[in-house]
Amino acid sequence: MRTIALALITTAVLTVSWRWGSFVAGGSDSYCYLHQAERWADALAHPFAGRLQVAEPLALAVPWPDGPVSFTPIGHVASPTEPGAIVPICPAGLSMAMAPFVLAGGPRAAFLVIPICAVLLVLATFAAGARFGAPVGVAAALVTAASPAFLYQALQPMSDVPAAALWMLAVACATGAKSRHVVLSGLATSAAILVRPNLLPLGVVIGLFLLLRPERTWRHRVRDAVVYAACCVPGCAGVAAVQWAFYGSPLSSGYGSFSNLFSLDNSGPNLRRYLAWLWQAHTPLVAAAALAPFLLPGPLSALFIALFLVNLALYLPYIVFEDWSFLRFLLPSLPLLLILAVASLDAAWRRRRLPGRTAMLAVAAVVWAALMVDEARDRSTFRLQSMEARFEQAGTFVAERLPANAIVLAAWESGSVRFYSGRKTMAWHGLNPAWLDRAIVELRGRGYEPYLLLERWEEPEFRARFSGSALGALDWPPAFEIASQVRIYRPDDRARFLRGLAAPTEYVR
């Protein structure tokens, strides 16, 4: 019965992830991972010739200030180690995992990593939850699969689900009884650090758990802790090597300086937001986890609680966001909280010696899961695919309809246009405000045909940035409007329009 239940849950996760997945190179994070996966795939295919950084000749040739910055698409920064090249702001782990898929099946095959990791996360949650009994493991796997935070990220090519899957695998193995489990836990932690380096303290918590397990002798504890730490070294070394190669220092990252990202003043607002989002998205039943120290005393509960609190503490000083989807930062330890909630309900019923405890737990888990799926629907989780489709649609349109020598000035879609069309892009948000008109002339002189591609919401920002420019006014109709959201302007149309000639817009649905 347990096997059948797990098979149904994992099949549902695969189906949902594939059916409603918004697997596109869209915004900053998704393009960052996908583009870098292509570079890692090239390095795998050509071990002695493949390059992780490729310079853009135009970035070094243009006359305006900070030329490389203006050719840096979203999700990247101008490389400090390779003039004219770009490097990702995101860590390398997910891109490394995608690379073999890209090599085997092309760029779109990279999207397969997310459904696979979603299933791995659910199975690892079962394994960790089963430490409190198999029924708890199955129930915890079900409610984790229905979590709005999990579902929202299982439909996007981002690192949250892969990171969470690896951390849950590390916990499931660390709480196992066999010697090989320690090795597997260390390797999973090593990979998790590659995917999300800032969560390294979670690995320290797992190491302390292995060192302090009360049921083991000190000799076994020390041995396990040392083996675990040794297995974590490759991930730490990999992060240091990549950051050194990309950013010039093993301690640097693409996200910028520590002081710009973290402040203790953010802790209060973030704590209120995260706790409110947890309560609202996962129903008040999630509060049952608070009973764990009383109903489930012992090292397992202590480990799960410590991991959640450390995960939370790592993000409290971080930038304050207003959207609930940033609950994804807690996804690596959220399944542990759900396990504790389920196990606490089970323990409460066990203490009262109620009959049919397993059936009651199953019913409670199904009802809870249904409530959370409904909550996920209300939060537009299953509309992500249609909401994000414009990125691929616009990029494909550029490939099929714009001339081969087109160069597209874009910001939010500067990555997706490159990914789907193969055309050169310029990031207008990185162009010196005084240079827009002259940049257009310069690009034409170099044999390119410039186009402006903006989402509707970007247009006020574009006008404000280039307020001193004639083209910055966007005072002529766009040549194309795609999906009612993306507009492509042909700069030459402005002069014709101001002379009273027709400049019709073609609407592409």
pLDDT per residue as tens digits for the range 54-99: 899 999 999 999 999 999 999 999 999 999 999 999 999 999 999 9
Token readout for 431 is 């162009």
pLDDT of residue 259: 79
Q: Is the pLDDT of residue 354 over 80?
A: no
pTM of the model: 0.95
Mean of all residue pLDDT scores within the chain = 94
Q: Is the pLDDT of residue 37 over 90?
A: yes
pLDDT of residue 47: 85
Non-local (6+) Cβ contacts of 209 within 8 A are 174, 299, 302, 303, 306
Alpha-carbon distance values, 441 to 226, 404, 424, 449 (Å): 63, 18, 16, 10
To 5 degrees, how large is the angle CA 394–CA 33–CA 334?
A: 115
CB 118 within 8 A of CB 169: no
Token readout for 12 is 């549902």
Q: Is the pLDDT of residue 482 over 80?
A: yes
**% pLDDT > 70, the chain:** 100
Q: Is the pLDDT of residue 358 over 90?
A: no
Beta bridge partners of 408: 425, 451
Q: Is the pLDDT of residue 48 over 80?
A: no
pLDDT of residue 352: 81
Helix axes 267-282, 357-378, angle to 10 degrees: 120
Band the pLDDT of 134: cuts 50, 70, 90. very high
Q: Is the pLDDT of residue 49 over 80?
A: no
Per-residue pLDDT tens over the stretch 158-212? 999 999 999 999 999 999 988 899 999 999 999 999 999 999 999 999 999 999 9
Non-local (6+) Cβ contacts of 418 within 8 A are 31, 35, 73, 395, 424, 425
Would you list the DSSP string of 69-133?
HHT--TTEEE-SSSTT-EEESS-SHHHHHHHHHHHHH-GGGGGGHHHHHHHHHHHHHHHHHGGG-
Band the pLDDT of 24: cuts 50, 70, 90. very high
307-321 average pLDDT score: 97
* Residue spans of alpha helices (H) in 130-217: 134-146, 148-154, 160-174, 179-195, 200-212
pLDDT of residue 353: 77
Dihedral over alpha carbons 276, 280, 282, 286 (to 10 degrees): 60
pLDDT of residue 209: 97
Among candidate residues 478, 494, 488, the one with its CA nearest the CA of residue 421: 488
Alpha-carbon distance values, 69 to 62, 243, 258, 395 (Å): 11, 19, 21, 22
To 5 degrees, how large is the angle CA 333–CA 334–CA 336?
A: 70
CB 396 within 8 A of CB 416: no
HSE-up of 80 (CA within 13 Å, CB side)? 12
360-364 average pLDDT score: 92
